[in-house]
Structure formats: C-alpha cells, structure tokens
Amino acid sequence: MPETLMRDVAELTVPGMLQNSVSYQIRLLQIASYKSFEQQMSSHGSAPRYFGLLKIVEANPGIPQTRLAEAIYLDRSSLVPILETLTREGWVERKKSTTDKRVRRVFLTKAGAENLARLEDEVTAHETMVTADLTPAEKATLLDLLARVDKTLRANFGGAS
Amino acid sequence: MPETLMRDVAELTVPGMLQNSVSYQIRLLQIASYKSFEQQMSSHGSAPRYFGLLKIVEANPGIPQTRLAEAIYLDRSSLVPILETLTREGWVERKKSTTDKRVRRVFLTKAGAENLARLEDEVTAHETMVTADLTPAEKATLLDLLARVDKTLRANFGGAS
DNA sequence: TATTGTTATACTCTATAACTATA
DNA sequence: TATAGTTATAGAGTATAACAATA
C-alpha cells in the first residue's frame, strides 16, 4: 500500500445489480465524462458546455429559438439565459425573422464560427482520449448500441422533455 | 403530416460530429434515461433517485459516510442533506462508530431493507424497458464497452471528483 | 386560439470553505 | 497535523406559470 490510506471498510462491494445496469453505468459514465471534459477545456469561456448547441446552430443557421431548444431537449425558457451568455461572449447573434415577427433566428457570428473550429479541435482531442481503448469497430458498435437504446427510450417515452 | 405542426426549419440537421461522439451520445442518453426513470417510479418518496446509494449501503452495511460519498463520486458535504432526507423518510440510520468516534456508520433500517426490495422490482422493470431491443449478448457487449470507456476515463483522470 | 420569446420564480444538485470533534 | 462529519453559502441548471406580441 504505497500512499493509500487505511480505510475503515476493507473493500467496497459494488452490487452486481448496479454493475449490470445499463441505466446506472450510463449515469456514472456521463458524470465522469462530463467532469473530465469541463476540466480539459482550457478556455473558450462558457462555450465548451454549449458545444453541441453551437454545432447545431452552425448546421442549421437561422434556426428559431424554440426549434433549437427542442433539438437539445430543453424548455424554450431555459434556452434564453444561455443565448444571452453566448451573445454576450460573441458566439451567436439573433435576428428577427422577417416572415414571422414572433420568431428570432439564431446564427453564429463570424468570430463565433472561427472560434468554434478551434474549440472543435479540443473537443475532438477529448473524444479521442475517451475512446482511446476502443478499436474503430468497437466504437461503431458502441454508438450503434447507444442509438438503439436511445430509440427505445424515446419510443416508450415521448420527447424526453 | 398528421398532427405535427409546420415548422419553420424544414428538418433539423444533426452534425455528424455529434452523432459520432461517444461523449455527446452518452450525455443525451443519460438525460433521457434519467427523466424516464424518475417519471416511471410511482412513489417511494425520494428513494428512487438514491437507489444506487441505497444498494451500496445494503451491500456495505455500516459504511462510513465519507466512504459512501466516494463510492458515488460526491463530495462528503453533498451527502449530508441526502442522508438527512433518507433518514427522515425511514430508509437509513446512522450509528456512531465505537472504534473511531468521528465516524458515523450508515445502515439500512429494517423497513428500508424491505421497501428497497420492492423498489428494486420497479427499477428492474425500467431497466428491462430500456434494454428491450437488445439481445442478452448485445447488452453484455454494451456493458463491457461502457466499462472500458469508464476505465480509460478514470485512468486519465483521477477519482472523477 | 395558438405560438414565440421572455420574465419571474423556485427547486434541485453540487462544490467550496470554514468549523468541531476527534484521531 | 490530518480526518470525519457538519454548516453556511453560492453557483449552475432546469422547469413552471404567466405575460406581451404576433400569428
């Protein structure tokens, strides 16, 4: 025992039921993965945590706020402070729709698009680290199995909202 | 288009980078899975969200609070209000250690152990729903791949705390 | 009547720092 | 000095309900 401390409980017993639960393991893994992601992102302000959102805006320029909220399974009211932050930090801008004056369309700014490319390199590096022990075939299998579970869940369970 | 509304953006484009990211898909899936879990649990007070904790206490009777916090990757201070709730609801009890008077040992109460068995049936039913589209072999593969990603993450990244 | 974006509000979850009592 | 548990506190992150403007 090098520098580990003597613990009161000799060894933690992890119940088999938890180790064999997809829901539970997904939950633990997501927590660990997200923590490491946030710590590995050096800067870029608050953008890293909204990387998925920014990529969706990039791929769907001018998307209305409510569509964007649905795309990331958030209530539209929850998106408002996020867009305010990303606007303040210069990542996105909102423009009133000319055809429907209720709608505000979300775009990346020029600087936002450029910085997103740099941020993407870091995100890719993290993903590479996370999947370093998987062969490409194994990674493809994992993504396929996750997608099938997701499909089952959303079929049995509305919009997940 | 039966009852779907006309949307402003014809079709949402999901960037390939997100669809091919294990981190991102794990994150989305965890959110959907946890929401459906919480809604499917009929009652049992606040115990369902602490099911994992309760199973660990069951498998490690008398575990000190700090060990328990580590087991679920929480700060020990975050565990305090959780144990207060679970104590108030009759699931667990804390007893001062006789050998180290700083330590409080956590146990399931008799009622807690009995109710946990019933709660477990519901948790199992949810897990069955989630994995309904997977063969046993596929589920085993998924758990194996998740465990390997988790191992990589924790190797590159301390205690995840 | 219904939808979009917004605001006000509250709730949950978590961490940090400082404290106490013990070791 | 270090550890176990606690408290006070603050910061994310999210949802609900109600509102004004517009459809």
At residue B6 the predicted structure's pLDDT band, cuts being 50, 70 and 90, is very low
pLDDT given at position B155? 87
Query: What is the pLDDT at residue A10?
Result: 67
CA distance A34 to chain B (A): 8
Stated in angstroms, how far is A149 CA from C6 C1'? 35
Edge-to-edge strands of the sheet including B104-108?
Answer: B63-64, B104-108, B92-96
So what's the pLDDT on residue A43?
Answer: 84
Residue B51: band (very low, low, confident or very high) from pLDDT cuts 50, 70, 90: very high
Q: Which residues contact B106 (CB under 8 A, 6 or more apart)?
A: B57, B62, B63, B64, B65, B68, B83, B92, B93, B94
Percentage of chain A with pLDDT > 90? 83
Q: Please state which architecture CATH assigns to domain B44-127.
A: Orthogonal Bundle (1.10)
- What are the structural domain ranges in chain A? 42-127
What contacts 24+ positions apart, CB below 8 Å, involve B91-97? B91/B47, B91/B50, B91/B54, B91/B115, B91/B116, B92/B54, B92/B57, B94/B65, B95/B62, B97/A8, B97/B64
Q: How do residues A8-45 score in pLDDT, each as one tens digit? A: 556 999 999 999 999 999 999 999 999 999 888 878 88
Work out the mean pLDDT of chain B and round it to a whole number.
91
A111 CB within 8 Å of a chain B CB: no
B74: nearest CA partner in chain A: A31
Please, what CATH class does the domain formed by A42-127 belong to? mainly alpha
> With an 8 Å Cβ cutoff, are A142 and B138 in contact?
no
Percent of chain A surpassing pLDDT 70: 91
For residues B29-40, average pLDDT: 92
What's the pLDDT band for B2 if we cut at 50, 70, 90? very low
Among A10-14, A67-71, B93-97, name the one with the lowest average pLDDT.
Answer: A10-14
Q: Is the pLDDT of residue A4 over 70?
A: no
DSSP structure string for B74-125: --HHHHHHHHHHHHHTTSEEEEE-SS-TT-EEEEE-HHHHHHHHHHHHHHHH
Interface subset of A 55-84, CB within 8 angstroms of B: 55-56, 58-60, 62-64, 67, 71, 73
CB pairs under 8 A between A and B: 219
Nearest-CA distance from B144 to chain A in Å?
10
What's the pLDDT band for A50 if we cut at 50, 70, 90? very high
Mutate to test the interface with A, among B11, B19, B22, B106 (most CBs of A within 10 A): B22
Name the average pLDDT for chain A: 91
